[in-house]
Amino acid sequence: MENEAGALSRVAGLFSSRGYNIESLTVAPTEDATLSRMTIVTRGSDDVIEQINKQLNKLIDIVKVQDLTEGGHIERELMLVKVRAVGEGREEMRRMADIFRGSIIDVTDKSYTIELTGDGKKLTAFLEALDPAAILETVRTGTSGIARGERVLKL
Amino acid sequence: MADMELTGAEIVVRCLEAEGVKHVFGYPGGAVLNIYDEIYKQEAFLHVLVRHEQAAVHAADAYARSTGQVGVALVTSGPGATNAVTGIATAYADSIPMVVITGQVPTAAIGMDAFQEVDTIGITRPCVKHNFLVKDVRDLAVTIKKAFYIAATGRPGPVVVDIPKDVTQNRCAFVYPETVTMRSYNPTHKGHPGQIKRAAQMLLEAQRPMLYVGGGAVLGNATNEVQALARHLGFPVASTLMGLGAFPEPDPQNLGMLGMHGTYEANMAMQHCDVLLAIGARFDDRVIGNPKHFAKEARRIIHIDVDPSSISKRVRVDVPIVGQVDQVLGDILKQVQHLGTAPDSVAQKAWWTQIELWRAQDCLKFDRSSPIIKPQAVVDALYRVTGGEAFVTSDVGQHQMWAAQYYKFNQPRRWINSGGLGTMGFGLPAAMGVQFAHPDATVACITGEGSIQMNIQELSTCKEHKLPIKVILLNNGVLGMVRQWQEFFYEERYAESYVTSLPDFTMLAEAYGHVGMKIERPEDVEGALKEAFALKDRFVFMNFITDPRENVYPMIPAGKGLSEMILI
C-alpha cells in the first residue's frame, strides 16, 4: 500500500464496517519508502475471503493484494515474554527457552525476558508449556508472511 | 518568479476552472473565506449559495446525475463538513461522481480541538470513494486533479478534499497536470474476451431469458448498448429503481421496475428466468428480497459490473465480467452477431406468453373513480401533462415509489432519486441541481409532506435564482411508508407516523415569493398541473391532498422472495 497517512485506518475501517474479523495486522515501510507492506490474518468462508480481497483492492491506497494461503508460505511472529525466574524455576525456565529456541534478552534476580520467534502456533505452544503463574507479561507482534520459493509480491 | 506564484485559494479556483466546472454549490464559513474571496473575483463558474450545506451536496449530486459530469460542492470546516455528510453518503450509496471541498482549520491547529474543527477525513472515510487532506499547498493542484479523476472513473463516487485554511493562504507555482496516473488505481475498461464469448453463447441458448438493468447502465452511459442488445435478441427487460430510463419504459419489451415495489411481471420473470443478464446492478435486498428464496429456482447468471466487489457479493454468478458496461455490452452484441445463431423461437414465444399472463394481472391498477385524490393519479397525470419528458426528482417514501411506478421514463438521467441511502430531504435540492444543469428543461420534484420539510429552507435559494421548478407534494398527512409498514407488520399501531401542525403550504410558498396551489378534488388534478406547467418562469408549489390510506402495491415484505408479492 501507499505509505500515506491514513492508509492504515482505511484498512482497519473497512474490516470493522463490513464486519470482517482481524486476528492480527502488522505493517511497516518496505525497502521502497513510498510503500508499506501489511500482513493481515483473518478468517472467513471462501465467499467472505473473496469479498475481503475485492474490497481491499477497491481501496485507492492499496497497490496489490495477495492471498498467501493460496500457495506455500512462511509465517513468523515475534513474542517477548517476561517470566518469573526464582529458585529451581530459574533453571527450568532457561531449559524451556532453549527447547523452543528462544533467547533470554533481559535478566533480573527474579525474572527473565525471553524473545521467541515462530509461527503463531509455536508461540502459543510455548506459553502453554509454561506454568501460568510464572507468566508476568507477554507481547506479540502479530504475523508477518511471505511466499515460499521464488514467488514474490512485486509491482 | 515569485510573482507567478498563486495562493492556495487561487489554485482551487483555477483547478475548478481547468476541470470545466460551471456550477459550484456551497456555503461560506471561516475556514474557506480565502477560497470565497477568489470566487468573488472570478467569472468561470457560478457559485450557488444554498441555505444548508446538505442541500449543496444534494444539488451537486443531482447535477452530476442529470449530466454525467462531476458535481462540485464547497463547505466550511466543522459543522459545514458534518452537515455535508448526509449528502456525501447519499452520493456514495448511488455511486455518483462528485468532488466536495471542505475547509479545515489551519494545519497548526489540527488536533487541538480548535473552533469549528472536526476530523473530516475520519468522519467521511466510510462514505467516500476516497478522501484527501492537503497539508502542503504544493500538493493542492495534483490532489484536486486526482479527486476529479477518481470521482469520475471506474465505479464513480464522491471524493472529499479537505483543505486547511493556511494552505489556501500559502503560495506556490501553479501547474495543473493534464493527466494523472496512479499505480494503485487502474479501473478496468474491457471485459475478458473469454467471458464475453461464454456470455454470448449462454444468451443464445436461453429458453427464458431476462435482462436486469441497474443504475450502472445509466451511470456508465450504456443505454444505447442495452437497447441494441435487448432489441437484437428480443429479450424482456426490467430495471431497478436506479436503472429506470435505461430502456424506454412504454416499450412492450419493458416489464417495468423490479424489487420490493416492482411489477408482478418483472419480479415473476426475474424469479423464473433460466438465463439472467445483470447489467450494472448489485442484487441488493430491495431487488431480490431473500437470496435463499431467489436461489431456489435454478438459473444461470451473467453479471457485468465495473466494480469486482459487486459481483458474487449476495448471489453467486456463473459468468462474471468486470468492465465498463457500455464496452462489455457492445462486445457481447458483436459476439452474438458473430455466432450468427438465434435464440430458440418456440421457447421465446412460450416465455413471452407466460410473461403476458403475468402482465395481465395489471398490478399497477388503482381506483380511478375515488372521491379522494389518489396519489397514483397525480403521477399519472404528471406523466401525461409533461409528455414523459420532464426531469423528475423525488424524496423518499411512498411518493418515491409511486413516482417510479407511474412516471414512464423514456430516457436515462431523467429520474433522480436517492435509491441506496434513501435520504428524505433530497428532492428539492436535487431539483435545483438539475435545473441549474438544464435551465430550459421541465423539472418536477415529487415529494411528501414529511420529506419536503427536511430541506424546505431551499425555497429561498429557488427564489434567489428564479428556478421554475414545480413541486408536486403528495400530501397525505402521514409518513406514508412508515404508516404502511405499521399497518402491515405492527398491527396498525401508528407510532409517530401522523404529521400534525402542517403549515399552510400555499401561504408558505407565497411567503418565499413563489406560486402556491392547493388541489383537493380528483377532477382538478390534471387542470391544475397544466396551469402550473404553463407558468414557465415561476416556481410553483402544488399541494395535492391525497388519500391517507393508500398503500404502495405490489409489495414484497422484507425477507420474503420475489414470488411472494402482496398484490392489491
Start-end ranges of CATH 3.40.50.1220 in chain B?
193-359
pLDDT band at B3 (very low <50, low <70, confident <90, very high): low
Same domain, A129 and A89: yes
Alpha-carbon distance of B546 to B446, in angstroms, equals 13
- Mean pLDDT across chain B, nearest whole number? 97
Interface residue A45 vs chain B (CB under 8 A)? no
**B125, B183, B309 member nearest A10 (Cβ):** B125
Among candidate residues B129, B145, B165, B470, the one labeled active-site is B165
In a domain, residue A152? The reply is no
CA distance A154 to chain B (A): 12
CA distance A55 to chain B (A): 6
Range of the domain at A20: 7-65
In a domain, residue A115? The reply is yes
CA distance A63 to chain B (A): 4
Domain count, chain A: 2
Asked if B550 is an active-site residue, the reply is no
Same domain, A43 and A82: no
- Spell out the CATH class of B193-359: alpha beta
Class of residue B567 by CB neighbours under 10 A (exposed 0-12, middle 13-18, buried 19+): exposed
- Spell out the CATH class of B375-545: alpha beta
Q: Are A20 and A44 in contact (CB under 8 A)?
A: yes
Task: Provide the residue type at B279 as one letter.
Answer: I
A17 contacts in chain B (CB < 8 Å): 126
pLDDT band at B154 (very low <50, low <70, confident <90, very high): very high
Homologous superfamily (CATH) of B2-173 is Thiamin diphosphate (ThDP)-binding fold, Pyr/PP domains (3.40.50.970)
pTM of the model: 0.96
In a domain, residue A1? The reply is no
B153 contacts in chain A (CB < 8 Å): none
B435 phi/psi in degrees, rounded to 5: -65, -35
- Mean pLDDT across chain A, nearest whole number? 95
Cell reading at B333: 452484441
Asked if B165 is an active-site residue, the reply is yes
Give chain B's contact residues with A (Cβ, < 8 Å): 121-122, 125-126, 129-130, 133, 150, 182-185, 307-309, 312-313
Q: What pLDDT, on a 0 to 100 scale, did the predictor assign at position B115?
A: 97
pLDDT band at B1 (very low <50, low <70, confident <90, very high): very low
Interface residue A34 vs chain B (CB under 8 A)? no
In a domain, residue A50? The reply is yes
Alpha-carbon distance of A105 to B487, in angstroms, equals 71
∠ CA B452-B454-B456, nearest 5°, is 60
Q: What pLDDT, on a 0 to 100 scale, did the predictor assign at position B2?
A: 46
| Mean pLDDT of the B112-134 span | 97
CATH number at residue A40: 3.30.70.260
In a domain, residue A2? The reply is no
Asked if B5 is an active-site residue, the reply is no
Start-end ranges of CATH 3.40.50.970 in chain B?
2-173, 375-545
Cell reading at A155: 509491482
List Cβ neighbours of B270 (8 Å cut-off, separation of 6 or more).
B210, B212, B238, B258, B276, B288, B562
Alpha-carbon distance of B348 to B235, in angstroms, equals 8
Q: What pLDDT, on a 0 to 100 scale, did the predictor assign at position A154?
A: 83
pLDDT for residue B288 is more than 80: yes
- Longest CA–CA span in chain B (Å) reads 78
Alpha-carbon distance of B127 to B533, in angstroms, equals 38
Alpha-carbon distance of B281 to B419, in angstroms, equals 12
Instruction: Please write the tens of the pLDDT for every residue from B349-387.
Output: 999 999 999 999 999 999 999 999 999 999 999 999 999
Same domain, A96 and A135: yes
- Host H or E run for residue A51: helix A46-58
CATH number at residue A109: 3.30.70.1150
Q: What pLDDT, on a 0 to 100 scale, did the predictor assign at position A5?
A: 87
Asked if B334 is an active-site residue, the reply is no
Task: Provide the residue type at B537 as one letter.
Answer: D
Same domain, A135 and A87: yes
CA distance B99 to chain A (A): 15
CA distance A6 to chain B (A): 9
Compute the count of residue pairs across chains A and B with CB atoms less than 8 Å apart: 35
B130 contacts in chain A (CB < 8 Å): 60
Contact B122 A17 (CB under 8 A): no
**For a pLDDT cut of 70, what percent of chain B falls above it?**
99
Alpha-carbon distance of B134 to B164, in angstroms, equals 7
**For a pLDDT cut of 70, what percent of chain A falls above it?**
100
B309 contacts in chain A (CB < 8 Å): 51, 54-55, 57-58
A155 contacts in chain B (CB < 8 Å): 183
Cell reading at A105: 534478552
Q: What pLDDT, on a 0 to 100 scale, did the predictor assign at position A155?
A: 80
Task: Give strand ranges (E) for B34-180.
Answer: 46-49, 71-75, 98-104, 130-133, 158-164, 171-173
**Ramachandran category for residue B444: left, alpha or beta (phi over 0 → left; psi -120 to 50 → alpha):** beta
| Mean pLDDT of the B398-411 span | 97
Contact B130 A62 (CB under 8 A): no
**B184, B307, B309 member nearest A60 (Cβ):** B184
A57 contacts in chain B (CB < 8 Å): 308-309
Where would I find the H helices in B457-524? Answer: 459-464, 480-489, 505-511
| Mean pLDDT of the B69-87 span | 98
Alpha-carbon distance of B128 to B92, in angstroms, equals 6
| Alpha carbon A140 to its chain's center | 7
pLDDT for residue B297 is more than 70: yes
**A6, A13, A51 member nearest B313 (Cβ):** A51
pLDDT band at B4 (very low <50, low <70, confident <90, very high): confident
Instruction: Please write the tens of the pLDDT for every residue from B479-500.
Output: 999 999 999 999 999 999 998 8
Same domain, A78 and A141: yes
Same domain, A128 and A98: yes
Determine if the peptide bond prior to B371 is cis (ω within 30°): no
Q: What pLDDT, on a 0 to 100 scale, did the predictor assign at position B189?
A: 87
Same domain, A61 and A80: no
Q: Which of residues 83-122 of A touch B (CB under 8 A)?
A: none
pLDDT for residue A33 is more than 80: yes
Same domain, A60 and A78: no
Same domain, A15 and A43: yes
Alpha-carbon distance of B249 to B409, in angstroms, equals 6
Contact A54 B125 (CB under 8 A): no
| Mean pLDDT of the B101-110 span | 98
Alpha-carbon distance of B236 to B211, in angstroms, equals 6
Asked if B116 is an active-site residue, the reply is yes
Residue for grid cell 424469479: B271
CA distance A77 to chain B (A): 28
pLDDT for residue B515 is more than 90: yes
Contact B129 A60 (CB under 8 A): yes
| Mean pLDDT of the A60-86 span | 96
Same domain, A88 and A24: no
